[in-house]
């Protein structure tokens, strides 16, 4: 059974938790940036096709495996494999998802710490009077301040741990049903503000004007990769959240909503970030520095920049924390089940161990930057291991498991709201389209490095 027999009290709670898990810091800056660099609206069309042809089928597979297996990802997959007369070694695939979530969280927690630190800066001093050089020096000072990075990383983990500690209904549900609507309202409010503040038309052109000359095989790969990773596929979170999902709630409708909202948030975030960038003549291709080095300059120059900066980093903080909750919950549920520990002890054990490993991530920005694992520093090695190896392989095997190892009758029983033709389409995609597409992502990703 799901850890502690927990279940979502409503579809709204499940949707808010799932969207919170899928929507992270990458949605706020990476999606708009990649969109602009890959043909604008043309890329968006390809991305949407990939999200619905690849993201939706595999996300549905993850949720149905979790709900039917009623356990942590390793236990759910092993149980279902045994029921279908397959080897219980399929549980290893669930373990890959947990390892990916844990590995990602070690590095992600530090980045969320930066966001919380900048929220504190916005609240206390704002970004009054700073220019590009000062903003760059300010961020460099953050990366050199190990004590500061550790303190804010621990604050982020403490907030996440408190939510997990309280359980599914008293912790995760209560948090996400408040935090996610707040984040949506902040996004909409900031986008509306930009309509009047300037740069909005330039941002629309950047994000939505098709440039088909930029479309090539690399662009299609980028779209598939963005769709795959932005939805949180193969990170174990959706499988665990699926195990808490009552039978009365439609998997199909829920997943479609999650994908639509996740994509909508990413596009809306572009209308929050880029109007300020274009209006103040800043670099839209600043990558990770866009948030911490470029935007503070815009905040310093715009009317109402003090309030705008607070709301922006508050929105980012919510996105970061809710994603952390999904990552940590999947591992906590497994520890709770595997070692028969109470929820609070499992949460403390997982969060505490992540805190310890996050020290290595922090030091990799300065003290041990030269230390190499396979030619990469610690953070880059963790990123490569999770994003280029574990996630594509995990997604590939999940698709194969749902499409080939599980019986058609079992998957049909979980997707009862799909009509016969729609189910046939899903079954075809999960068997013949998703696996080769992910295999291409994996091979190209490895060859590219």
User: Residues 381-413: pLDDT tens digits?
Assistant: 998 899 889 999 999 999 999 999 999 999 999
What is the pLDDT of the chain when averaged over all its residues?
91
**Contact (CB, 8 A) for 58 and 395:** yes
Burial 312-336 (b: 16+ CB within 10 A, else e): bbbbbbbbbbbbbbbbbbbbbbbbb
Report the pLDDT value the prediction gives residue 19, as an integer from 0 to 100.
94
Model confidence band, residue 288 (pLDDT cutoffs 50, 70, 90)? low
Nearest to 394 by CA among 84, 192, 97, 16: 97
- The phi and psi torsions of 394 (rounded to 5 degrees) equal -60, -45
Query: What's the rounded Cα separation, in Å, for the pair 26 and 229?
Result: 9
Residue 81: pLDDT band (50, 70, 90) is: very high
Mean pLDDT of 302-324: 93
Nearest to 306 by CA among 36, 126, 40: 126
Lowest mean pLDDT among 258-267, 342-351, 359-368: 258-267
Side-chain-side CA neighbours of residue 219 (13 Å): 21
Residue 309: name the closest of 124, 110, 33 by CA: 124
What is the per-residue pLDDT for 236? 94
pLDDT at position 4, please? 54
- Can you give the pTM of this predicted structure? 0.93
Q: Would you place residue 210 in the very low, low, confident or very high pLDDT band (cuts 50, 70, 90)?
A: confident
The CATH number of 3-448, from 1.10.260, 1.10.1660, 1.10.3470, 1.10.4160, is 1.10.4160
Tens digit of each residue's pLDDT (9 = 90 or more) over 374-387: 889 999 999 889 98
Neighbour-count burial of 107, counting CB atoms closer than 10 A to its CB (0-12 exposed, 13-18 middle, 19+ buried) = buried
Residue 228 has pLDDT above 80, yes or no: no
User: Integer distance in angstroms from the first to the last C-alpha of the chain?
Assistant: 41
Cα–Cα distance for residue pair 365/145, rounded to 1 Å: 10
Cα(268)–Cα(27) distance, rounded to whole angstroms? Answer: 9
The number of CA neighbours under 13 Å toward the Cβ of 134 is: 10
Are 62 and 77 in contact, with CB atoms under 8 Å apart? no
**Looking at residue 449, what is its pLDDT?**
62
Q: Does position 5 have pLDDT exceeding 70, yes or no?
A: no
Per-residue pLDDT band at 197 (split at 50, 70, 90): confident
- Band (pLDDT 50/70/90 cuts) for residue 3 is low
Handedness of CA 322, 323, 324, 325 (dihedral sign): positive
- Four-point Cα dihedral 234, 400, 12, 271, nearest 10: 60
């Amino acid at each position: 059974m799901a850890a502690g027999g927990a279940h979502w009290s409503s579809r709204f709670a499940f949707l808010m938790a799932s969207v919170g898990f899928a929507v992270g810091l990458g949605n706020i800056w990476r999606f708009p940036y990649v969109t602009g660099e890959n043909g604008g609206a043309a890329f968006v069309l390809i991305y949407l096709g990939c999200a619905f042809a690849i993201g939706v089928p595999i996300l549905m597979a993850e949720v149905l495996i979790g709900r039917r297996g009623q356990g942590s990802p390793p236990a759910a997959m092993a149980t279902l494999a045994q029921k279908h007369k397959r080897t219980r070694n399929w549980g290893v695939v669930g373990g890959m998802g947990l390892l990916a979530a844990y590995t990602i969280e070690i590095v992600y927690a530090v980045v969320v710490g930066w966001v919380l630190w900048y929220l504190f800066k916005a609240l206390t001093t704002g970004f009054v009077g700073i220019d590009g050089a000062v903003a760059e020096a300010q961020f460099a000072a953050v990366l050199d301040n190990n004590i500061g990075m550790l303190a804010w990383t621990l604050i982020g983990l403490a907030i996440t741990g408190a939510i997990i500690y309280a359980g599914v209904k008293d912790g995760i549900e209560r948090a996400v049903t408040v935090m996610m609507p707040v984040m949506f309202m902040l996004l909409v409010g900031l986008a509306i503000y930009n309509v009047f503040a300037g740069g909005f038309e330039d941002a629309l052109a950047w994000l939505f004007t098709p440039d088909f000359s930029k479309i090539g095989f690399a662009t299609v790969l980028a779209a598939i990769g963005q769709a795959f990773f932005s939805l949180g596929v193969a990170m174990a979170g959706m499988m665990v959240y699926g195990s808490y999902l009552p039978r009365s709630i439609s998997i199909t409708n829920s997943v479609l909503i999650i994908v639509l909202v996740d994509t909508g948030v990413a596009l809306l975030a572009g209308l929050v970030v880029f109007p300020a960038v274009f209006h103040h003549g800043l670099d839209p291709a600043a990558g990770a520095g866009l948030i911490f080095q470029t935007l503070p300059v815009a905040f310093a120059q715009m009317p109402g920049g003090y309030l705008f900066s607070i709301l922006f980093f508050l929105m980012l903080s919510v996105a970061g924390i809710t994603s952390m909750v999904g990552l940590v919950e999947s591992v906590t549920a497994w520890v709770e089940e595997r070692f028969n520990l109470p929820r609070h002890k499992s949460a403390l054990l997982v969060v505490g161990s992540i805190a310890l490993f996050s020290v290595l991530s922090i030091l990799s920005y300065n003290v041990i930057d030269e230390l190499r694992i396979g030619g990469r520093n610690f953070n880059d090695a963790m990123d490569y291991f999770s994003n280029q190896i574990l996630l594509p392989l995990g997604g590939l095997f999940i698709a194969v498991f749902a499409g080939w190892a599980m019986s058609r009758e079992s998957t049909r029983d979980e997707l009862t709201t799909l009509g016969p033709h729609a189910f046939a389409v899903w079954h075809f995609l999960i068997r013949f389209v998703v696996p080769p597409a992910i295999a291409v992502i994996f091979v190209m990703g490895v060859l590219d490095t």
